[in-house]
Amino acid sequence: MFTHVRVPEDGKKIEVRNGRLVVPDHPIIGYIVGDGTGRDIMPAAMKVWDAAVQKVYGGQRKIAWVRLYAGEDAEELYGERLPEETLRAIREFVVAIKGPLTTPVGYGWRSINVQLRQKLDLYACIRPVKWYPGVPSPLKEPHKVNMVVFRENTEDVYAGIEWEAGSPEAKRVAAYLKRTFKITLPPNTGIGVKPISEGATKRLVRKAIRYALENGRRSVTLVGKGNIMKYTEGAFIRWGYEVAKEEFGDVTITEAEVAEGKPADGKIIIKDRIADAMFQQVLLRPEEYDVIATPNLNGDYLSEALAAMVGGVGIAPGANIGDTLAVFEATHGSAPKYAGLDKVNPGSLLLSGVMMFRYIGWNEVADAIEAAFTRTIQQKIVTYDLARLMEGAREVRTSEFAEAIVANL
Residue 190 has pLDDT above 90, yes or no: yes
Residues 245, 262, 276, 323: which is the catalytic one?
276
Indicate whether 245 and 291 sit together in one domain: yes
pLDDT greater than 60 at residue 151: yes
List Cβ neighbours of 83 (8 Å cut-off, separation of 6 or more).
69, 70, 74, 77
CA atoms within 13 A on the CB side of 7: 16
Any binding-site annotation on 102?
Answer: yes
Mark which of 310, 329, 352 sits at the end of a domain.
310
Task: Give the domain-ending residue among 310, 333, 350.
Answer: 310
Q: CA dist 344 to 37, 336, 378, Å?
A: 7, 11, 18
Q: What is the dihedral of CA 365, 371, 377, 378, to 10 degrees?
A: -170
Q: Give the 3-state secondary structure of residue 104.
A: coil
Given 69, 123, 132, 158, which residue is catalytic? Answer: 158
Domain annotation covers residue 352: yes
| CA dist., res. 109 & res. 38, Å (int) | 19
Q: For residue 394, is pLDDT > 90?
A: yes
Can you give the pLDDT at residue 111?
80
CATH number at residue 299: 3.40.718.10
Look at 156-160, 256-260, 283-287 and tell me which has the smallest mean pLDDT. 156-160
Q: Is the pLDDT of residue 108 over 60?
A: no
The reply to whether 130 falls in a domain is no
Catalytic residue list contains 158: yes
Helix (H, G, I), strand (E, B), or coil: what is residue 109?
coil
Provide the domain limits for residue 146. 137-156+198-310
Closest alpha carbon to 151 in 118, 116, 125: 125
Q: How confident is the model at residue 86 (pLDDT cuts 50, 70, 90)?
A: very high
Separation of CA 267 from chain center: 26
Does 166 lie in the same domain as 103? no
301 is catalytic: no
Indicate whether 206 and 179 sit together in one domain: no
pLDDT range class, residue 103, cuts 50, 70, 90 = low
Q: Are residues 150 and 285 in the same domain?
A: yes
**Cα 62 to chain centroid, rounded:** 25
- 274 membership: H or E segment, kind and range: strand 268-274
Q: At 244, is the pLDDT very low, low, confident or very high (cuts 50, 70, 90)?
A: very high
The kind and range of the H/E element at 17 are strand 15-17
- If pLDDT is split at 50, 70 and 90, which confidence band does 109 have? low
Q: Does the annotation flag 336 for ligand binding?
A: yes
- What pLDDT is stored for residue 105 in this prediction? 53
pLDDT of residue 198 exceeding 60: yes
Domain match, 145 and 289 both: yes
pLDDT at 283 over 60: yes
pLDDT-derived band of residue 112, with 50, 70 and 90 as boundaries? confident
Catalytic-role residue among 156, 272, 290, 300: 300
**Hey, is 376 helix, strand or coil?**
helix
Judge if 51 and 148 occupy the same domain: no
The mean per-residue pLDDT over the stretch 102-111 comes to: 62
Question: Running DSSP on this structure, what letter comes out for residue 139?
Answer: S
Answer yes or no: do 296 and 179 share one domain. no
Flag whether pLDDT at 110 surpasses 80: no
Q: How many domains does the chain have?
A: 3
Beta-sheet strands, E only, within 84-235: 95-98, 124-130, 146-152, 162-163, 191-192, 219-224
Rounded distance, CA 66 to CA 60, Å? 19
146 in the same domain as 288 = yes
Do 5 and 97 lie in a common domain?
Answer: yes
pLDDT at residue 175 greater than cutoff 80: yes
Q: What is the pLDDT of residue 348?
A: 96
Angle at 389 between CA 385 and CA 390, to 5 degrees: 110
Active site residue 107: no
Looking at the fold, whether 289 and 176 belong to one and the same domain comes out as: no
On whether 384 is known to bind a ligand per the annotation, the reply is yes
Sign of the C-alpha dihedral computed for residues 297, 302, 305 and 307 taken in this order: negative
Instruction: Decide if pLDDT at 223 tops 70.
Output: yes
pLDDT at 343 over 90: yes
Cα dist from 321 to 21, 380, 400, whole Å? 13, 34, 31
Boundary (domain end) residue, out of 310, 340, 370 = 310
What pLDDT, on a 0 to 100 scale, did the predictor assign at position 333? 86
One domain, residues 212 and 298: yes
Is residue 132 included in any domain, yes or no? no
What was the pLDDT predicted at 305? 94
225 is catalytic: yes
The pTM is what? 0.93
Rounded to whole angstroms, how far apart are CA atoms 238 and 202? Answer: 10
* pLDDT tens, position by position, 14-49: 999 998 999 999 999 999 999 999 999 999 999 999
Average pLDDT over residues 358-365: 97
Determine contact, residues 134/369, Cβ cutoff 8 Å.
no
Q: Quick one: what percent of the chain has pLDDT higher than 90? A: 92
Q: How high is the pLDDT of residue 102?
A: 83
| Confidence grade of residue 104 (pLDDT, cut at 50, 70, 90) | low
d(CA 293, CA 295): 7
Give the separation between CA 343 and CA 324, rounded to whole angstroms. 35
* 102 falls within a domain: yes
Give pLDDT, residue 229. Answer: 96
Q: Is 297 helix (H, G, I), strand (E, B) or coil?
A: helix
Residue 335 marked ligand-binding:
yes
Give the chain's mean pLDDT. Answer: 95
Q: Is the pLDDT of residue 235 over 70?
A: yes
- Do the annotations mark residue 96 as ligand-binding? no
Same domain, 255 and 237: yes
Indicate if the pLDDT at residue 114 is higher than 90: no
Average pLDDT over residues 70-95: 95
Ordered DSSP codes for 65-103: EEEE--THHHHHHHSSSS-HHHHHHHHHH-EEEE-----
337 has binding-site annotation: yes
Catalytic residue among 225, 289, 342, 385: 225
